[in-house]
Amino acid sequence: EVQMLESGGGLVQPGGSLRLSCAASGFTFSTYAMNWVRQAPGKGLEWVSSITSSGGSTFYADSVKGRFTISRDNSKNTLYLQMDSLRAEDTAVYYCAKPRGSGYYRGIDYWGQGTLVTVSS
């Protein structure tokens, strides 16, 4: 059974940092690209970032480019999102999301339960 368990969310002040983790199991993690998607309160889904299976290529939404860093440790089956210079508008539930195929763009077939990040003073 595919499972993805996010952790690391919480309350942080504007300008602060957080690192989200996503522990994956039930599939061969090292062969899949991975994604982070978020949903702000009362808003729609927003793609945040993607990383290829090897970690060699990363992609970011303009809204987070230069502030967030996606990475992975295939030996630990874990995906990360380092979030720096956090802003109030980054407040959202962050989902770890597995694509159904080899590319990160081929539809997301499994989602984690989400972890809430709240940026507020």
Question: In the bound complex, what is the minimum distance in angstroms from residue 46's beta carbon to another protein?
Answer: 6
C-alpha to C-alpha distance for 85 and 72, rounded to whole angstroms: 21
Question: In the bound complex, what is the minimum distance in angstroms from residue 44's beta carbon to another protein?
Answer: 4
C-alpha to C-alpha distance for 46 and 12, rounded to whole angstroms: 20
Question: In the bound complex, what is the minimum distance in angstroms from residue 95's beta carbon to another protein?
Answer: 7
107 binds another protein (CB under 8 A): yes
Site for another protein in 47-106 (CB under 8 A): 47, 50, 59-63, 95, 100, 103-106
| DSSP strand pairing (58-60 vs 45-51) | antiparallel
Q: What pairs with residue 75 in β-bridges?
A: none
C-alpha to C-alpha distance for 106 and 115, rounded to whole angstroms: 23
C-beta closer to another protein: residue 12 or 33? 33
Neighbours of 115 (CB within 10 A): 22
Where do contacts with another protein occur on this chain (CB under 8 A)? 35, 37, 44-47, 50, 59-63, 95, 100, 103-109, 111-114
